[in-house]
Amino acid sequence: MSNSQPDLQLIDRWEVVRMLGISESTLERKQVEEEHFPAPRRLGTRTVRWLKHEVEHYILGLEVVDYFGDDA
């Protein structure tokens, strides 16, 4: 039997930063400026976590770049 629900693993800001290869300040900027950036979930007064599958979905939706293409 297959389960169509995503794995609901929660990750902290350091894992989000690691997965995206960005700095913590860039993460904060993306949260403010990018409408489609995954929103964190509040676990406590000072604790937030992201759903791993939402961050992965965001990564898969990033623009594919032809690194060696002629964009001139």
Per-residue pLDDT, 2: 58
Per-residue pLDDT, 67: 84
Alpha helices in the chain (DSSP H): 13-20, 24-33, 52-60
Residue 54: pLDDT above 90?
A: yes
CA distance linking residue 5 with residue 35, whole number of Å: 24
Which has more pLDDT, 46 or 5? Answer: 46
What is the reported pTM?
Answer: 0.82
- Tens-place pLDDT, residues 10-51: 999 999 999 999 999 999 999 999 999 999 999 999 999 999
Domain ranges of the chain: 10-60
